[in-house]
Structure formats: C-alpha cells, structure tokens
A and B are shown apart, each in its own frame.
Chain A
Amino acid sequence: MNALLHGRLTGLLALAAVIAVLPAFLPNNFYLDIAILAGFNAVVCVGLNLLIGYAGQISLGHAGFFGIGAYASGVLVGSYGWPPVLALLAGAVFVGLLAFLVAKPILRLKGHYLAMATLGIGIIVSIVLRTESGLTGGPDGMMVEPFRIFGVELYGEKVWYWVVGLLLVGVVWLSLNLIDSPMGRALRAVHGSEVAAEVVGVDTARFKVLVFVLSAVFASVAGSLFAHYTGLITPAKADFFKSIELVTMVVFGGMASTFGAVVGAVVLTLLPQALTVFQDYQQIVLGGILMATMVFMPKGLLPTLAALIPARRRA
C-alpha cells in the first residue's frame, strides 16, 4: 500500500516536473501552442481512459461532449454575455446531465453495440452543431471571446500553458486517486467480470454511469477552455474523427494507465505536426502507425515499454 502510494506520488511529481521545465526547452510560441493542444487532448484522454481503460466501456462519441463544452462557452459568452466561468460550468453541468441521462440505458449495451450507440450520440451532436448555424455559425464555426476571470483576461501561449498544465496535473491527480479508491477497485472488477463484480456486491451500473458522466465532464471542461484558447471553434472539433482520435490516443498510450493516456495524447498530437513534412503521405503514415501499434503492441505504448523494464512497479 505504501509502495503504491509512493508510486502514485512519484508519477504525479514527475509529470509536474516535466510540465514545469518544458517551456525552457521550447524555442518559441509555435512549440508552446502544440504543447497546449497536447495538454487539452491529454485532459480528455485521462477521463476517457477511466471509462475505456478501467471500466472497459468504449465511447466513440466523446468529441461530442468536448464540442458541447466548447460551443456552450462560445455561445453563452459571445451571444448572451455570460461570464466565461459561468458558461464553462453551465456546459459542464449540461454535459453531465446529458451523459447521466443516456448512460444508464446505453451502458447496458456491450462491445460493438455500445460503440454504435456512443458513435450515434457523437454524430448527432456534430450534425446539430453543423446545422444550427444561427447559433453556432454552421460549418464555418464561430469566434469565441477570450477567457476573463476577476477582470483578468487570459492571453497568450505562456499564460495558457500554465493553465492547461495545472488542469492536467489536477485531472491526473483526481484520476490516480479515483483508481486507488474503492470506486477504482469496483471499476476494475467491472472490467474483469461484470457478473463476478455483481456477485461480490458491486453496484456495477452505478459505477459505470458515474465514470461515464465524469469522463464526459472532463471532456466538456477541456472543450470550454480550448474554445477560449483558440478563439475559433468549428464542428470538426466535435465530429467522428475527433472521437476516433481521442480513443486512439488512449489505446495507443496504453489502456488502464493514466500516464499512458497522457503519453498517447502527447505523441499523437505531435505526430501530425511532424508529418506535415510529408503532406501527401500524412494519412497513409497515420493510418499505418495506428495499425502497426495495435497489431504489434496491443497493450499500448507505455505498458509495452514498462514490460521491457524488468521487475519494476507499474505506473
């Protein structure tokens, strides 16, 4: 137990340390911008990993929740003059309620049926965002006002880097604590065998719903802040591909590994940037890498690397 606690703290401190020293190695705002985008993705992936990696429930629609958060902030602040913090909270509450309402019936489904249902929700959300152009600006997207809190405007890559870094550390801390709590153990029991979990008295339905709602809210908050950071949101941020991208990050980094989700998000955010050199081949390389990783390291990057280091505790 002590070792476990120790391991958890070490990981968290290591992450915080990396985030703290990274800016010193980033030559300009372009790199800082990529780091920020990676941070936003990582926040969503840590939440999604709780759902996919720990509870074993796939969601192909999480970009929809990200999108609702982003547009809630964009619309409420821009068109209705709400304070950004309030808009962010409203988006999160709405997404939480929506996730709660759909979670119970949807999480009865398994495997491909669950994949289909979550995919359906995500696609419906993105079609609504694309179509209701009076509110959302349609396919061209909408401008979002800067984030203001107590009269201070968050501006520039440097400020946003620390905001996202702090958020990521907070989310990782929450996730690690959750995994080691009775709820985390219950979730892993659900993943292992739902029937066995029920037999020993775990209320599987309740936990699955809880983690679904939680991961959706993470996505919504990240979406809200992302919208303020970039200043422009488009329905593409909520569509099927974004959802796939998020799931891929989780699976690529390593399922059931919080740090794996972070690593997956970082690597797969960097990759397309590196691939712009190969413009025409970008999709081919990306698709090829996806297939190759899944075929040769089905457990994902971090667990595969961890297995190479003998007799060390797992992150």
Chain B
Amino acid sequence: MFAELLQYLLSGLTIGAIYALAGLGFSIIYNASHVINFAQGEFIMIGGMASATLTASGVPLPLAILIGCGGAMLVGVLVAKFAVERARDASTVTLIIITIGASIFLRGVAELVWGKDFKRLDAFSGETPIQFLGASMQPQSLWVVGTAGVLIVAIGLFFAKTLTGKAILATSHNRLAAQLVGIDVKRVVLASFALSAALGAVGGAVVAPITFSYTEMGIMLGLKGFTAAVLGGLGHGPGAVAGGLIVGVAEALGAGYISSAYKDAVAFVIILAVLLFMPNGLFGKRGTERV
C-alpha cells in the first residue's frame, strides 16, 4: 500500500524533474522576450538524440552530452536570431506560430539526420534497482532528479549573482528601462534562448535511458513543460519548477490509481482546473498579458 504510493511518487518526481527543467526553460525565455517558445521540447529531443547516437558511435558520455548541449544552444540562438528577433512587434499569435514553425522545422531536420527509429542510451550507472522502503528505483532516476536539482540551483544562483543573470531579470521587468541603463536587450534574448536550450538538452540526455529517444519525443515533453510553466505562473522560475514536479507526480498517481491510458490527460485537466479557478497559476501575479 505505502510501497505502491512511494513507487508512484518516485517515478512521478523523476519525470516531473524533466518537466520542471522544460518549464524553467519556458519561463526564462518568456521573461526575457515574452515569447512562449513552442520549440522548447525540441531542445530536449536534440539533447536526447545527440547523446544517444554519439555514445553509440563511441564518443564518451560526458563529451556526447556536452556536444548535444552545445548543438542545442546554437539552435536556440539561431531560432532567437532569425525568427523571434525579427518579429519583435508581432502579436502573441504570430509569435506562437513562429516557434511552432521552428519546432516542425527542427523535427524535420532531426528526422533527416537521425531517422525515425527509437535510439537507446545506456543508463549512466547500471540498471540494478535500488530498494527503498519497499519501492524500487532505477539508479538513472537519481541521475535525473540530481541533475535537475543541480541545474535549478545553478540557474537560481546565475540570476541572483551574475551580471548577465541580473541583466536578464532587469529586461524582464522593464525592457525600455533596461535598455536605458545600457543593457543590450538583444543579447539578453539570445542568452536566454541559449540558456534554456542548454537546460532542455541536458534534461533530454539524462532522461534518455528511461524514455528512449526519438524525434517526436519533444512534443509532449514540451507541452508538459508549458503546462508546468503556466501552472507555476508564467515567468515565475520557482513556480515552473514546482509546477513541473506537481504535473509529474499527479501524472504518476493518475496512471497508477485511475487509468494509465489517461496519463497524458492528467496534466491538461489540472491546468484547466487551475486556470479556471486561479487564472494566474499557482504563483503568478497576473493572468493578463503585459502590454
């Protein structure tokens, strides 16, 4: 009974950690540019595919992750530079379509490079399950949760301590004022895209041994990340992390106790309920667009 619940909680936290990273990625970009980047899931896919295929061809794992991460950052910067930056004054709908276009484009490229098959990445430290109060856990789950935790703390420090981080924060509060004090707003947007691409790619790499990698994997992960970000209140970093964990755990509980077929619907039912009763998300300040 308890062991079962614990089992669901553990698997929920594992996948929730990835949603949290994706949600955090949405929030960082939203803060810097007020764009919801629907290609966020594609960064996760790039990280997963790159690390799976590179290790398969003999590249050591850390290097493979690093290359995947670098590739995703480059892609992120290109999306920001060639699509989002040029559509600066476009409406919300237009920006949504642009990033959706980018995600279809990237998926097409990925299919060309990697094919449509599932790719396998070995678990980082073996597959002997760890027993814990009657529940068992893959060691890879620890890698996922641990990596996500470290990244989330690092992002927090980055925003609190570094000049670039503060510049991004300043831009998110008031773009014009940030520009007036000499912040290069365009570079801030590029940096935010690179940063959230890196977050996504690392997430994709650590989760790859659990979920397998395929070119379509980014879609649902991205949408769940968006749910996490909205649940926490768009642009609210810690909120996005909490949102991701809540979505992950709710999904695992829903799959365990209600129906595994409706697992994917859980996140969207929650988000609908939250939006209907708390239009600002759990931690958000406002439900309206900033004008």
Contact = CB atoms under 8 A, between A and B. Distances in A.
A294 interface: yes
Interface string B250-291: 000000000101101100110110011001010000011100
A274 to B, nearest CB: 16
Interface in A78-128: 105-106, 108-113, 115-117, 119-121, 123-124, 127-128
A307 interface: no
Given A113-B287, A117-B275, A295-B87, A281 B108 contact: yes
A247 B261 CA distance: 28
Contact of B93 (A58, A108, A109): A58
B108 A110 contact: no
A290 interface: yes
Nearest to B93: A58
Interface stretch (B61-69, B97-105, B136-144): B97-105
Contacts of B93: 52, 58, 247, 251, 255
Contacts of A251: 93-94, 97
Contacts of A280: 111-112
B96 interface: yes
B261 A131 contact: yes
Interface in B65-90: 82-83, 86-87, 90
A121 B261 contact: no
A124 B269 contact: yes
A294 B87 contact: yes
A116 B271 contact: yes
A119 B223 contact: yes
Nearest to A123: B268
B276 A113 contact: no
A116 B87 contact: no
B112 A290 contact: no
A119 B271 CA distance: 10
The B contact surface, by secondary structure, is helix
Nearest to B280: A113
Could you say which of A109, A119, A120 has the most chain B C-beta atoms within 10 Å of its C-beta?
A120
Nearest to B267: A120
B97 A247 contact: yes
Contact of A58 (B30, B96, B227, B269): B96
A288 B87 contact: no
Given A124-B265, A287-B108, A288-B105, A112 B234 contact: yes
Contact of B262 (A109, A116, A131, A244): A131
A285 B105 CA distance: 7
B174 interface: no
A298 B91 contact: yes
A190 B109 CA distance: 41
A288 B101 contact: yes
A110 B101 contact: no
A175 interface: no
Contacts of A248: 97, 100
Contacts of B103: 287
Contacts of B83: 291, 294-295
Contacts of A289: 101
B208 interface: no
Contacts of B105: 283-284, 286-288, 290-291
A279 B281 CA distance: 42
A282 interface: yes
B103 to A, nearest CB: 7
8 contacts: A108-B287, A113-B230, A120-B272, A281-B112, A287-B106, A290-B105, A291-B102, A294-B94
Given A295-B83, A295-B98, 5 more contacts: A58-B92, A115-B36, A283-B108, A287-B101, A298-B87
Interface of B: 30, 36, 82-83, 86-87, 90-98, 100-109, 111-112, 219, 223, 226-227, 230, 234, 259, 261-262, 264-265, 268-269, 271-272, 275-276, 279, 281, 287-289
